[in-house]
């Protein structure tokens, strides 16, 4: 990767044009990331020296503990009996009838705490405990990751502190109360745009000054090993979905669709299907109030490669490389970056990225609630909105699996306030 220039917040690089063979592309599941944490040219560790040492130690610990049979056993036991896995793969009969193809929901909303986030927090909290760390910290956008982290901390007897942007905190008051009930301290971040990016900034700053804590990152972002580690814990979604669809339909699906904030629920569903070329992988990002308004978080659509929060990936940035302010009706999606593995999958054309507006997501929120009797999270509603558009173009026998990343209980009060 060729270094171009340094700005106040970012290092800007020229994107090299790496060519990957077809065989490599289909085997990327086994090839990435490399030892330095690169997915093709994306990812890595763009952090100060002190933090690099901490990240390298974490990588070593993770790679060692991951192979430990008792760790695996405990993780699986908690996934089954605490989280409630495997989560159902539900054939959405009414929406399928309406839109004219087979639409399935991978029901991560049925997990304990109501979203996919708990898969990762249980994994990382178990790891923290194994390493012998007593306190965990985390950022949160919609509050789902904060609640899932506070839950894992309560379960494992760890101290917990959460950082949340002020704008998100106002939208998600109940989630703040939930985190506090679970014993966590919540810090409301009043700097910058006061959303998810600023919560990550604050958590990273705290971590730099308190290296004795464990930073439990909530998505496939940040320096290596987070994008790999979070993906590994979330890949349980795709592993289950693959078995379930084979059992229910006798074949693999035609499309997988998931919303993309940092990208953890999307890569969690996609990962096991990467070698299955016939399955199309589609990430859906928030176009907010419209791509031309500047009020969106459509990183893949309008971003360019750059460095944020210690990793290199597509990034919404100004001409000096500073991250742009982002917006989405769904607090969990308003992040200016995206996971490095997704950036790689986009460049090699193994995954596609689409966008839907707030209005389209809200319509899907209402429609799914009314027609299927399931209230989706606003984040999930983005994936649903795109799936409905896609379904209209497909044949009756074609199959879409939508990652139903979370339940909408957290959003009901906010949506009601819009009327
Ligand atoms: C329900 C739900 N879905 C999706 C997301 C987006 O995160 P990611 O892209 O990491 O899955 C969030 C983030 O808070 C969320 O709460």
**Active-site residue, from 15, 41, 108, 139:** 139
Nearest ligand 1 atom to the CA of 108 is 1
Ligand 1 pocket, residues with Cβ under 6 angstroms? 115, 141-142, 144-145, 219, 259-265, 332-333, 377, 379-380, 405-406
Compute the distance between CA of residue 109 and CA of residue 40 in angstroms, rounded to an integer: 32
Domain's final residue, options 195, 210, 231:
231
Q: Is 292 a catalytic residue?
A: no
Known active-site residue 117: yes
Q: Do the domain assignments include residue 4?
A: no
**Which protein residue's CA is at the shortest distance from atom 6 of ligand 1?**
261
Find all residues with CB under 8 Å of 74, minimum gap 6, and list them: 126
Kindly report whether the global pTM for this prediction surpasses the value 0.85. yes
80 assigned to some structural domain? no
Q: Number of folded domains in the chain?
A: 2
**157 Cα to the center of ligand 1, angstroms:** 25
User: What are the pLDDT digits (tens) for 283-300?
Assistant: 999 999 999 999 999 999
Residue range(s) defining the domain that contains residue 298: 86-115+236-417
Distance 142 CA to ligand 1 centre (A): 8
Q: Clarify whether residues 220 and 291 are in a common domain.
A: no
- pLDDT recorded at residue 32: 78
* 197 Cβ contact partners less than 8 Å away, ≥ 6 residues apart: 165, 308, 309, 323, 326, 334, 335, 336, 337
Residue 14 located in a structural domain: no
Q: What is the pLDDT of residue 192?
A: 93
Mean per-residue pLDDT over the chain, rounded: 94
Catalytic residue among 87, 343, 387, 405: 405
Q: Domain for residue 380, yes or no?
A: yes
Give the CATH number, domain containing residue 357: 3.40.50.1100
Do 247 and 377 fall into the same domain? yes
Cα(23) to centroid of ligand 1, in Å?
31
Active site residue 331: no
Q: Which is higher by pLDDT, 31 or 36?
A: 36
Please report the beta strands in 94-222, taking only residues with DSSP state E, as ranges in sequence order.
102-107, 135-140, 159-165, 185-189, 214-215
Q: Residue 148: which pLDDT band, with cuts at 50, 70 and 90?
A: very high
Residues 198 and 249 reside in one and the same domain: no
Confidence of residue 397 (pLDDT cuts 50, 70, 90): very high
pLDDT of residue 419: 86
Q: Express each pLDDT in 43-82 by its tens digit.
A: 999 999 989 999 999 999 999 999 999 999 999 999 999 9
Q: Is the pLDDT of residue 16 over 90?
A: no
Cα four-point dihedral sign 186, 236, 99, 351: positive
Ligand 1 atom having least distance to the Cα of 145 = 14
**Looking at 8-22, 320-334, 379-393, which range is the least confident one?**
8-22
């Amino acid at each position: 990767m060729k270094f171009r220039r340094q700005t106040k917040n970012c290092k800007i690089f020229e994107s090299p044009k790496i060519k990957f063979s077809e065989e490599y592309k289909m085997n990327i599941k086994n090839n990435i990331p490399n030892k330095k944490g690169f997915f093709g040219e994306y990812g890595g560790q763009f952090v100060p020296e002190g933090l690099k040492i901490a990240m390298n130690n974490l990588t070593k610990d993770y790679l060692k503990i991951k192979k430990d049979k008792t760790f695996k056993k405990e993780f699986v036991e908690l996934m089954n009996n605490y989280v409630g896995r495997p989560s159902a793969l539900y054939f959405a009969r009414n929406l399928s009838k309406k839109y004219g193809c087979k639409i399935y929901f991978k029901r991560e909303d049925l997990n304990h705490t109501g979203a996919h986030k708990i898969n990762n927090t249980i994994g990382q909290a178990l790891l923290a405990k194994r390493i012998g760390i007593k306190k965990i910290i985390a950022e949160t956008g919609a509050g789902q990751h904060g609640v899932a982290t506070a839950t894992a901390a309560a379960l494992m007897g760890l101290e917990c502190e959460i950082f949340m942007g002020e704008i998100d905190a106002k939208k998600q008051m109940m989630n703040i109360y939930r985190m506090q009930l679970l014993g966590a301290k919540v810090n409301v971040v009043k700097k910058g745009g006061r959303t998810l990016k600023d919560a990550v900034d604050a958590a990273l700053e705290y971590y730099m000054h308190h290296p004795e804590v464990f930073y439990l990152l909530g998505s496939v972002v940040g320096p290596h090993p987070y994008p790999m580690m979070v993906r590994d814990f979330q890949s349980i979604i795709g592993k289950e979905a693959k078995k379930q669809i084979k059992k229910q339909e006798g074949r693999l699906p035609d499309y997988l669709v998931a919303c993309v904030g940092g990208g953890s629920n999307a890569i969690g569903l996609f990962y096991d299907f990467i070698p299955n070329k016939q399955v199309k992988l589609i990430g859906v990002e928030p176009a907010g109030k419209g791509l031309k308004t500047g009020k969106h978080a459509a990183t893949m659509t309008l971003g360019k490669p750059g460095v944020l929060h210690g990793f290199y990936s597509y990034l919404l940035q100004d001409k000096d490389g500073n991250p742009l302010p982002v917006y989405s009706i769904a607090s969990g999606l308003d992040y200016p970056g995206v996971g490095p593995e997704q950036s790689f999958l986009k460049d090699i054309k193994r995954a596609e990225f689409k966008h839907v507006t707030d209005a389209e997501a809200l319509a899907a929120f209402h429609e799914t609630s009314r027609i299927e009797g399931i209230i989706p999270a606003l984040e999930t509603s983005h994936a649903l909105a795109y799936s409905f558009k896609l379904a209209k173009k497909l044949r009756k026998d074609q199959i879409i699996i939508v990652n139903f990343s979370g339940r909408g209980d957290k959003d009901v009060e906010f949506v009601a306030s819009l009327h």
